[in-house]
Structure 1
Amino acid sequence: MTSNNTQALKAKIREICQEKQAVILAHYYTDGDIQDVADFIGDSLALARKAADTDARVIVMCGVHFMAETCKLLCPDKLVLCPDPEAGCSLADSCRAEDLRKFKEEHPGYTIVSYVNTTAAVKALTDVVVTSGNAERIVSKLPQDAKILFGPDHNLGSYVNAVTGRQMALWNGGCHVHARFSVDAIAALKDKHPGAIVLAHPECKGPVLAAADVIGSTAVLLKYATEHPDATYIVATEAGILYEMKKKCPTTEFIPVPPEITEGAPGCSCNQCEYMKMNTLDKLYACLKNESPAIEIPQDIARDAVKPIIRMLEMS
């Protein structure tokens, strides 16, 4: 697609949004073209809040499927669209509702804290949902004597245990993109760029986080870089965030950490989420035009799944 065609398609998307009273929400990990045309871009927490507050008739979530489900749970009376329903999430896939239900049956009395990167069916079995931006704060507010299962991200759970002093049981799940970052790759970049600040998402492995100068959600990392634009940054998270970082700080050098390639690893051999990249301008335009694919959640699941999300928003 030529640049002129791209701009024309973006203009059509904005026109149809106005016609249909639609709002486009996009995650930082989507392609730059998607971010450009969105009404709002953000991390999972910010997108959830925006969905809950919008008065639009139609919500288009450009992210992955669980994010669109979250929008529908918070806005059951709105039409929620997802440009590609096949845009999944390795984290969400690592925790099945039937497996979590079995854990609860075998471990009565546990408080279930689920990362937002989970299906609606898993959220329906959850006591409170968290994001990478509020997990530490919410876990800290839970009773000190509570028995807690944190899932599905083992790395994020380990990080929260470390900073809160908790001893939560951890589900054995992870993000296939963040799991690829290695200390060796960071060390090699630091040798080439002495004095560079390492930014890392808490979905990374413990040794990577130990090598980081700043640990936080995409929103936290972006805020730090924006407030300190004179530094050089080594960035250990999905590369889509670099687009907004460069927009906010055009003269700042951002260096993405390359992945450690392991045999049999799912997805592409790069520091990008192939599921997020399934959102394209063509698919976005088509879903707006046709008002499809629409997100639908069974009523019995939706009734229970929205409760831990609302609790998260109240505790954040």
Structure 2
Amino acid sequence: MLKDKIEELKKEKDVVILAHNYEIPEVQDIADFVGDSLGLARQAAKTPHKTILFCGVHFMAETAAIISPEKKVLIPDTNAGCSLSDSINLEQLKKWKSEHPNAIAVGYVNTTAEIKSELDYCCTSSNAVNVVKAIPDDKEILFLPDMFLGSYVAKMTGRKNMLIWAGECHVHAGITPDHVKEKLNSLANAEFLIHPECSCTTPMMYDVANGSYSSNQVQILSTEGMMNHVKNSKSNEFVVATETGILYRMKKQNPDKKFIPASEKAECEYMKMITLEKVYNSLLNETNVVTVPKETADKARLAIERMLAIS
């Protein structure tokens, strides 16, 4: 069986397999660690293995290569990209920075290594609020590339001097307030877990603050935040507004609880590109090595290390 062959190769070649929460179930099952981008970056930083096989999208594998330059990083499919990462390029960022020479650039981890090399701070959805809070109040901030996460952070920190890039993740942007309201109305006892990249986040935060959802609990959380929340919650029913791949891990770890996607269509085709066959081939042939030029990596590492230091 392919699964057994992967296990053998992994041991033989001293490989650790990291998989994102949105990967297909059989890929999650063969991984040594499953988590969000921050959790996986931390695993990449501390793993003793000489090779990292990254089951996720390309920017995540690049992050691992930047953090662990002495290790070999493989990705099973080099075409596993990211619509959010594609929403800003190096020229656009340099121009934006030149228009605001004293600003601090804060970029989401969902960006290319080139973009990261131009940032002061990197962040993930789980620590974006804390990263922005760590920057002096009088400093102007350029936040990129996710406009929904940016709006959420600005609201949570009360920051008035934060400029936000107009990028989005096509999957999360597709989860609308209508999707959530429809489920809210039909599931009175469910808790709602919403990823801050969703287009429903910004309007819903105001509604939450106004007490519009008094009968439902609404939490805005990163994917790992969602995992921790459902484990500790006394609720038995959850509506989950993020990519549907996370439901597999939720059900596996909480078999007695019920999980409903806010939108059944919230699937990332890039995350689903990685299959067991591709994992096996990448391990066997050590193909699709992800490398980042040293100069770019050295500059990007500083922003990532700042992210890892702020939990």
Q: So what's the TM-score if we normalise by structure 2? A: 0.94
Alignment partner, residue 10 of structure 2: 17
Alignment partner for residue 161 of structure 1, among 147, 151, 154? 154
Seen in structure 2, the aligned counterparts of structure 1 residues 229 and 278 have a Cα distance that, compared at 3 Å, is farther
**1:95 Cα deviation after fit:** 1.1
How far is the alpha carbon of 1:233 from its aligned partner? Answer: 0.8
Aligned to 1:207: 203
- Which residue in 2 is equivalent to 1:51? 44
The code of the aligned residue for 2:85 comes to A
Shift of 1:185: 1.8
Question: Is the Cα–Cα contact under 8 Å of residues 191 and 235 in structure 2 kept in the other structure?
Answer: no
In the alignment, the residues of structure 2 paired with residue 303 and residue 101 of structure 1 have an alpha-carbon distance, to the nearest angstrom, of: 18
Q: Distance in 1 between matches of 2:95 and 2:223?
A: 33
Partner of 1:5: none
Q: State yes or no: 1:185 paired with 2:179.
A: yes
- Which amino acid is the alignment partner of residue 105 of structure 2? I
Secondary structure of 2:93's match?
Answer: helix
Whether 1:295 aligns to 2:300 is no
Count of aligned positions: 299
1:152 lines up with 2:149 in the alignment: no
Q: Secondary structure at the match of 2:240?
A: strand
Q: Deviations over 1:76-126 (max 9, x none)?
A: 111100000110001100011111011112220110000000000000000
Between 1:250-259 and 1:145-154, the stretch displaced more is 250-259
2:170 equivalent in structure 1: 176
Distance 1:145 1:21 in 2: 48
> 1:192: how far off?
2.4
* Superposed structure 1 runs of 4+ greater than 2 Å apart: 207-212
From 216, 226, 232, give the equivalent of 1:227.
232
Worse-superposed segment, 124-133 or 305-314: 305-314
Among 270, 275, 284, the alignment partner of 2:270 is 275
> Superposition pairs for residues 1-316 of structure 1, below 5 Å?
8-167=1-160, 168-205=162-199, 206-209=202-205, 210=207, 213-228=218-233, 230-258=235-263, 270-316=265-311
What is the distance in 1 between the residues matched to 2:167 and 2:59? 16
Letter in 1 for 2:137: Q
Q: Deviations over 1:166-194 (max 9, x none)?
A: 12100010111011112222222223221
Q: What is the rounded CA distance, in whole Å, between the counterparts of 1:61 and 1:226 in structure 2? A: 26
Residue 213 of structure 2 is matched in structure 1 by: none
Q: Partners in 2 of 1:315 and 1:197 — Cα distance? A: 28
Give distance in 2, aligned partners of 1:33 and 1:95.
32
C-alpha contact (below 8 Å) 1:28/1:241 kept by paired residues: yes
Taking the aligned partners of 2:184 and 2:98, their CA distance within structure 1 comes to 48
Cα RMSD, aligned residues only: 1.2
Structure 2 letter corresponding to 1:187: K
Aligned partners of 1:228, 1:108: CA distance in 2, in Å?
45
Aligned residues of 1:246 and 1:252 also touching (Cα < 8 A)? yes
Tell me the distance in 2 between the aligned counterparts of 1:217 and 1:132.
5
> 1:229, CA displacement in angstroms?
5.2
**Quick check: 1:73–1:302 contact (8 Å CA) kept in 2?**
yes
Residue type matched to 1:240 in 2? G
**Which amino acid letter does the alignment assign opposite residue 106 of structure 2?**
V
Matches of 2:232 and 2:310, distance apart in 1: 26
CA distance in 1 between counterparts of 2:247 and 2:310 reads 30
Q: Secondary structure at the match of 2:84?
A: helix
Deviation string 1:227-282 (CA, Å, 9 cap, x unpaired) is 125421111000011011001111211110126xxxxxxxxxx2111100011100
Rounded Cα–Cα distance in structure 2 between residues aligned with 1:230 and 1:257: 17
The 2-side partners of 1:280 and 1:245 are apart by: 20
Gaps of 5+ in 1: 1-7, 260-269
CA contact (8 A) 1:174 1:203 kept: yes
Would the alpha carbon gap of residues 208 and 34 (structure 1) be closer, same or farther in structure 2, given more than 3 Å must change? farther
**TM-score scaled to structure 1, two decimals?**
0.92
Distance in 2 of aligned mates of 1:200 and 1:311: 26
CA–CA distance in structure 2, aligned partners of residues 220 and 230 of structure 1: 16
Superposition deviation, residue 315 in structure 1: 2.5
* Alpha-carbon distance between aligned partners in 2 of 1:57 and 1:85, rounded to the nearest angstrom: 20
SS of the residue 1:89 aligns to: coil
CA distance in 2 between counterparts of 1:230 and 1:10 reads: 35
Q: Is the 8 A contact 2:190 2:235 kept in 1?
A: no
Identical aligned pairs, as a percentage? 47
SS in 2 for 1:122: helix
CA distance, structure 1, for counterparts of residue 148 and residue 183 of structure 2: 23
